[in-house]
Structure 1
Amino acid sequence: MREFIETMRKAGLVVDVREPVSVDMQAAKMAAGTEKLLFFHNLEGHRAVMNLTASRTSLSLALGIEEAKFVKTLADAKFDGTVTESGTLPMQKPDLSKIPIMHHFPKDAGKYLTSAIVFSRWDGVENASIHRMQVLDDHRVAARLVEGRHTHVMLKNALAKGEKLPIAVTIGTHPAVTFASCTRVPTGMELPFAAELMGGELNVKRCSNGVLVPDAEIVLEGFITAELTEEGPFVDITGTYDPIRMQHVIEFTGMYTKPDFIYHGILPGGDEHKMLMGAPYEPKIFKAVAGVTVVKNVVLTKGGCGYLHAVVQIRKSTQGDAKNAIMAAFAAHTSLKHVVVVDEDIDPCNPHEVEYAIATRVTGDRDIMVITGVRGSSLDPCQLEDGTNVKVGVDATMVLGREADFSRATW
């Protein structure tokens, strides 16, 4: 992570904050006002960063991929990097009070770890994913484990055998590892994918409970237990409060920190949260749309919470291609709510361009698809009690054969 911070600094994308800053909402408010990386030199006596990858530019720098080729390159990933084990980590007694964990919003249930990657290991398979964690005391947290996701499935398998699930948590990890942990990859391939993104190889160390972890500023090892406790409320991707749920307790048994560690916090509902939620789905949508037409780019927009709205750029060869692209996008990312398909001359990253396409190339009764009674995102406040929602697809492309009528004046 430190090497990446210096890369960002050379690109003029780091703001050094040298005055004392509080973990009680002050740092969160500051991060909400910029896309630049904030480097806190005195976050209640510690160093910390926020907005590590809060923009497409910073994420492209982190992964070493040209911004214009970002989605296409990731869509071609092979998940074939080499993971090399080299030694073990020296652990000490865990003490979460030594870490500048933040309280982000007034109605949050307390302090939360938001950038923590959970590496879990069961039956020879290792998974990596990010889970928010509410601090309970100096060695326990309550983790939001989405039902049916890999960590939750592994936990259920462990508990069914009367055992706790071994895990290790990293904070302050290279953004490529964080991105890989946010991506839906073949089972157990998060670390090989991270290795691929980092040039082909990734070194890891083994914790005393058997879990492998990459280089990080902070590592916490322990177990997810059968114990349940209230978790929440907490702000999620839409900027609205997630409700209180009964969630599993993680007990930490060991802790490692670099002597001068740099803490990494992600602002809930902020730009980095949106990038890490949405960007990993863009290659998946790209590949799905490529099966029905020529796709040029896919963007999950920040205005759509980085998760609910997609703009798909295509090159049409038949008049129905845009509608096929809409259906493919919905199938690839079932949490999508609205999809807009545009032509090659429209920049999908520019909301003004996309709105222009909707204004000048959409005839409502012909170009808008409304699909009712389908499963959407549990994060959407509009979701009905039965878990269903309404999806809308917008064909904002030119009518084939009439391109001259839509051509924009240029110099």
Structure 2
Amino acid sequence: MENQKLEIVDLRSALEFLKSVPGQLIETNEAADPNAEISGVYRYIGAGGTVMRPTRIGPAMIFNNVKGHEDARVLIGLLASRERVGLMLGEKPDRLGFLLNEAVKNPIQPVVSKEKPKCQEVVHYADEPGFDIRKLVPAPTNTEEDAGPYITLGMCYASDPENGDSDITIHRLCLQSKDEMSMFFTPGARHLGVFREKAEKLGKPLPISISIGVDPAIEIAACFEPPTTPIGFNELSIAGAIRNKAVELTECLTIDEKAIGNAEYVIEGELIPNVRVREDQNTNTGKAMPEFPGYTGPACAEIPLIKVKAVTHRINPIMQTCIGPSEEHVSMAGIPTEASILQMVEKAMPGRLLNVYAHSSGGGKYMAILQFKKSQPSDEGRQRQAALLAFSAFSELKHVIIVDEDVNPFDSNDVMWALNTRYQGDVDTIFIPGVRCHPLDPSQTPEFSSSIRDKGISCKTIFDCTVPYDLKDRFQRAKFKDVDPARFAPELFETH
């Protein structure tokens, strides 16, 4: 399937496309409370990921009747299926990393449109009487313990106050009052954090737009990280390459910044210098929201604040949200991770790394399965070099499992088979202790292990489940006859 044939340009065209594919999108008119109920329902429908069982991979879901928000709908789970992401990006699910890798190498920069944007069909200014972002934006909570309503899929767009470079990333944003939101920054991990720090040193607010409900290609592209996309690299150019068409931006109405022109919602605001708030100041739960490792993250005692200037949206807007530990995070974080690893290893040793899967159990960040082919005696040992390069390509990676070319990296049972029959723990496990990883892993603390000097430091580990090259003949899988099963069970197999 080719991207051009999909004609997906925004969220609504993506939903129209999914309606034509059985089993990928459902709707409900049942009244749903955005406070924990929407996520509570979708946990069973299609969350997957690291969500506590029972859960499953299922369709995306639209809630048409959201309590307290008569004119809005809420969409959840759009990206919570690798198959669905493949459909919307026009690529086979196991080739998505390659698609993004090519997009990074052939970027198409965004453009500013002069036409009236769809995202500004309705405008609400913060200085108008009765303005309240909590009533305008149906941001759900994932659980009843959350610090407050969260925007989980807001495309945050800001620019370097020194040189004007722009970037887009996704952050957790908690609605704190009628015109204030808190914004969480992973220390040292996001370009917008650098922009904010520069503005704060200058004593200036940083203009920022938050676009919600956009083309899913933008949501995937926004999750690339250094070194694949160094500071100054605008990830919107990756989305442009995926669609072979530049993303159209529009000028904001109240701040000197741009936003995505066909977004469902845009929030315009400023990050206020030297102002911090307690993330759970309205609930006092001590918790923020469920994060990708499957645990609810602690609320930050001091977190940067956005002062909202305006909310604009389309007529009858669609609020897009996700469950923090769901398969949606795996898709958004994991597929760019795969592309980054493919790019770095291919540069160093062409043709040997066949595929990569950023595994669901690691939320798309903590674990990668590398499918590596040894073609000659001198390739022995290079598989472990590829694992080291994977850690360099994505610093938050914790575990790498390496398998041979006859093992499907996307099939966990197949990977576990390799672990059981091609791996010896005392010789095939490589420990790299004391390396910075990710602060949301609760095992990465001095309390968990005295060997850990600071929160977020971990022992990165390689599990080499490949057969030594000189023993490959002894590890041939049973060879079954190659037949066309559709002849015998046409109802189970597609014919081509």
Structure 2: gaps spanning 5 or more residues: 1-10, 47-57, 127-131, 281-286, 447-453, 482-496
Counterparts of 2:64 and 2:248, CA distance in 1: 28
The one-letter code sitting in structure 2 at the alignment partner of 1:296 is: L
* CA distance in 2: counterparts of 1:377 and 1:194, whole angstroms: 26
- 1:274 aligned residue: 330
Structure 1 unaligned runs (5+)? none
What residue in structure 2 maps to residue 92 of structure 1? 124
The one-letter code of the counterpart of 2:469 is: L
**Secondary structure in structure 1 of the residue aligned to 2:141:** coil
Q: Does 1:196 align with 2:241?
A: yes
Tell whether the 8 Å contact from 2:185 to 2:193 is kept in structure 1 after alignment.
Answer: yes
Residue number in structure 2 paired with 1:344? 405
**Could you give the per-residue CA deviations for residues 52-74 of structure 1, whole angstroms, max 9, x where no partner exists?**
11111122223222323221222
Other structure's SS at 2:113 match: strand
CA distance in 2, matches of 1:133, 1:124: 24
Q: Does 1:30 align with 2:30?
A: no
Provide the C-alpha distance between the structure 1 equivalents of 2:415 and 2:28, rounded to a whole number of angstroms: 36
Tell me the distance in 2 between the aligned counterparts of 1:292 and 1:327. Answer: 12
| Distance in 1 (alpha carbons) for counterparts of 2:313 and 2:98 | 37
Contact 1:292 1:324 in 2 (8 A): no
What residue is the counterpart of 1:49 in the other structure? 75
The answer to whether the 8 A contact 1:292-1:328 is kept is: no
Aligned to 2:107: 80
**Comparing 353-362 and 374-383, the one that deviates more:** 374-383
- What CA distance in whole angstroms lies between the structure 2 residues aligned with 1:19 and 1:241? 28
1:212 equivalent in structure 2:
258
> Which amino acid in structure 2 is aligned with residue 218 of structure 1?
Y
State the alpha-carbon separation in 1 of the partners of residues 366 and 73 from structure 2: 34
**Residue 65 of structure 2: SS of its match in structure 1?**
strand
Corresponding residue number in structure 2 for 1:292: 349
* 1:369 corresponds to 2:430: yes
Code of the residue aligned with 1:231 in structure 2: it is: E
- Cα deviation, residue 82, structure 1: 3.9
1:226-275 Cα shifts (integer Å, max 9, x gaps): 21001252221112122222111101111111111111011111110222
Query: Any residues of structure 2 matched to 1:9-408 within 5 Å, and which?
Result: 9-12=19-22, 13-33=24-44, 34=46, 35-44=58-67, 45=70, 46-77=72-103, 78-87=105-114, 90=120, 91-94=123-126, 95-96=132-133, 97-121=135-159, 122=161, 123-148=163-188, 149-184=190-225, 185-186=229-230, 187-208=232-253, 209-214=255-260, 215-226=262-273, 227-232=275-280, 233-234=287-288, 235-245=290-300, 246-290=302-346, 291-292=348-349, 294-317=352-375, 318-385=379-446, 386-387=454-455, 388-408=457-477
CA contact (8 A) 1:129 1:182 kept: yes
Between Structure 1 and Structure 2, whose CA radius of gyration is higher? 2
Q: Secondary structure at the match of 1:92?
A: strand
**Local SS of the residue matching 1:43:** coil
Question: SS of 2:293's equivalent?
Answer: coil
Count of aligned pairs between the two proteins: 411
The letter of the residue matching 1:11 is: V
Partner SS, residue 119 of structure 1: strand
Rounded Cα–Cα distance in structure 2 between residues aligned with 1:210 and 1:64: 35
Matches of 2:19 and 2:83, distance apart in 1: 13
Q: One-letter code of the match for 1:402?
A: L
Deviation of residue 79 (structure 1)? 4.7
Q: Determine the C-alpha separation between the residues in 1 that align with 2:400 and 2:259.
A: 37
- Paired residue secondary structure (2:385): helix
Residue pair 2:100, 2:238 contacting (<8 A) in 1 also: no
Question: Does the Cα contact within 8 Å between 1:85 and 1:203 map onto a contact in 2?
Answer: yes
Higher deviation after alignment, 41-50 or 307-316: 41-50
Partner of 2:451: none
Q: Higher strand fraction: Structure 1 or Structure 2?
A: 1
- CA contact under 8 A between 2:99 and 2:242: conserved in structure 1? no
Whether contact under 8 Å (2:337, 2:364) holds in the other structure is: no
CA distance in 2: counterparts of 1:300 and 1:20, whole angstroms? 36
TM-score (norm. length: structure 1): 0.95
Deviation at 1:321, TM superposition (A): 2.0
CA separation of 1:310/1:43 partners in 2, compared to 1, >3 Å: closer, same or farther?
Answer: same
Query: Structure 2: which amino acid aligns with 1:18?
Result: N
TM-score between the two structures when normalised by the length of structure 2:
0.80
